[in-house]
Structure 1
Amino acid sequence: PPRAPDEAAAPIPGDLGCVALIRSTQELPDGRSNILAVGERRFVLVAWCAGDRPYRLGRVEEFDDEPSEPGEAEALAAGVRDDFSRLVRALGVLTDREHEAIELPADPQELSFQVSAALELNAEAKRSLQALRSTTARLRHLGGLLEPLAADAERRAAVRRRAQRNGRGGRHPRIEHTA
């Protein structure tokens, strides 16, 4: 059943949201559904509106990123693209999905949102990325997250590759063999 707008769990004015585009739906035998939605436009909740509908109505203001220096955004996007690609390749090794490619957008703003959506982050971290009104700030934040994640995943992928050769690697050059 729908909750009343005045319930404690309801968003409060100033909270962020996102208009979502439903890409696909799949009805399940038990009546539930799987829904794939993609965020389109961000907004701030201004106020709740009174109404007799069985769902909440609110007044919102949409917002977009503030203009940024294209050269800086492109440079940061290149770093995010490289680090995210490193992470995806390493995770591919760890999950036996090495040959799956991922397409990343050329536009720095689109890239920042796609990478933000793809990362396994808690809700508060995702919300803070969504709230940023600067593409360069979002890319800078993502760069700080991605580099250590990619480096760690690459270390684990290297261990996995070595482990897969156990018993089939031949002689190790640093081990003295006596016969």
Structure 2
Amino acid sequence: MSPRLPLFPLGTVLFPGLVLPLHIFEERYRQLIRQLIDLPDGTPREFGVVAIDQGLEVLPPNPGSDVTELSLHDIGCVAQLRQVTEHPDGHFDIVAVGDRRFKITGIAADDAPYPVAHVEWYPEPDADAEADELAPQVLSIFRDYLSALRGGPDDQLPDDPKVLSHLVAASTALTVADRQALLAAPDTTTRMRLEIKILHRESALLRQVRAVPMPPSELHKPPSLN
């Protein structure tokens, strides 16, 4: 039988090794966090983060609304629960860390108020020699991109090709569709090739318009590595 994984649909993409802070206020996901907290010691406290293709992150306030259907991407990333802060009003602030990737094979019949999926693991092979050769090029282009975006480079970047490819994917100001394509790349080499094309495109846009191609409020520093 295929593994089952509780899902947390979001309007963003989580990558392996990257930190995801979340404020949990919907009751169905508060219930999920409580269930994870109550698991026996040594049991993985994890859920699946999957990007929304169409639909809403939060259920509409009107229970009779028909805008409740979600269309999800089929490739997601397991999030391991690392820190939980419960507030007096019952809300949670959590910190999770991306782990392995998965592919949704079907939605499970379950009484839980949140979606539960049948999944298969979507492993990524170790970086090959070509990825090692591409890494310096990705690093160089990404540093130029960060310099144009923020006015200065970020010198604290990893050398490991797989880790670098995930950090670049998560840190570049991209659409969900672009990030999803990078998450779904079958291996590090494929992801890095795509990142080179995307970074060239985004850097060219920055040079042409001399402005950040998204609202400043949406900008953030690269997510922390695990």
Q: Which of the five TM-score ranges fits, normalised by the shorter chain?
A: 0.5 to 0.7
Deviation at 1:50, TM superposition (A): 1.9
Greater RCO (Cα-Cα under 8 Å, separation 6 or more)? 2
Residue of structure 2 in register with 1:130 after alignment: 183
Residue of structure 2 in register with 1:79 after alignment: 137
Contact kept, 8 Å, 1:87 with 1:154, in 2: the verdict is no
1:9 aligns with 2:74: no
3-state DSSP class of the match of 2:104?
A: strand
Q: What are the within-5 Å matches in structure 2 for residues 28-43 of structure 1? A: 35-43=94-102
Residue of structure 2 in register with 1:150 after alignment: 203
1:117-162 residue CA offsets vs partner (Å, 9 max, x unmatched): 00111111111111111211100010111124335546749xxxxx
**Equivalent position amino acid for 1:79 in 2:** Q
3-state DSSP class of the match of 2:159?
A: coil
Residue of structure 1 in register with 2:36 after alignment: none
3-state DSSP class of the match of 1:17?
A: strand
**Equivalent position amino acid for 1:52 in 2:** D
Distance 1:61 1:76, change over 3 A: same
What is the CA–CA distance in structure 2 between the aligned matches of 1:150 and 1:48, rounded to whole Å?
39
Considering only CA atoms, is the larger Rg found in Structure 1 or Structure 2?
1
Distance 1:60 1:84, change over 3 A: same
TM-score (norm 1): 0.65
3-state DSSP class of the match of 1:120?
A: coil
Aligned residues: 146
Q: What are the within-5 Å matches in structure 2 for residues 84-123 of structure 1? A: 84-93=142-151, 98=152, 101-123=154-176
Greater per-residue helix proportion: 1
Q: Tell me which moved more, 53-62 or 126-135.
A: 53-62
Distance 1:32 1:84, change over 3 A: farther
What is the CA–CA distance in structure 2 between the aligned matches of 1:8 and 1:58, rounded to whole Å?
15
Contact kept, 8 Å, 1:86 with 1:154, in 2: the verdict is no
**Equivalent position amino acid for 1:77 in 2:** A
What is the CA–CA distance in structure 1 between the aligned matches of 2:97 and 2:174, rounded to whole Å?
17
**Which of 121, 133, 139 is the equivalent residue of 2:192?**
139
Deviation at 1:85, TM superposition (A): 1.0
In structure 2, stretches of 5+ residues that fail to align are 1-26, 29-58, 60-67, 212-226
Percent identity, please. Answer: 34
3-state DSSP class of the match of 1:75?
A: helix
Q: Tell me which moved more, 132-141 or 25-34.
A: 25-34
**Which of 46, 50, 54 is the equivalent residue of 2:105?**
46
What is the CA–CA distance in structure 1 between the aligned matches of 2:203 and 2:171, rounded to whole Å?
14
Distance 1:154 1:102, change over 3 A: farther
Deviation at 1:112, TM superposition (A): 0.5
3-state DSSP class of the match of 1:50?
A: coil
**Equivalent position amino acid for 1:123 in 2:** V
Greater per-residue strand proportion: 2
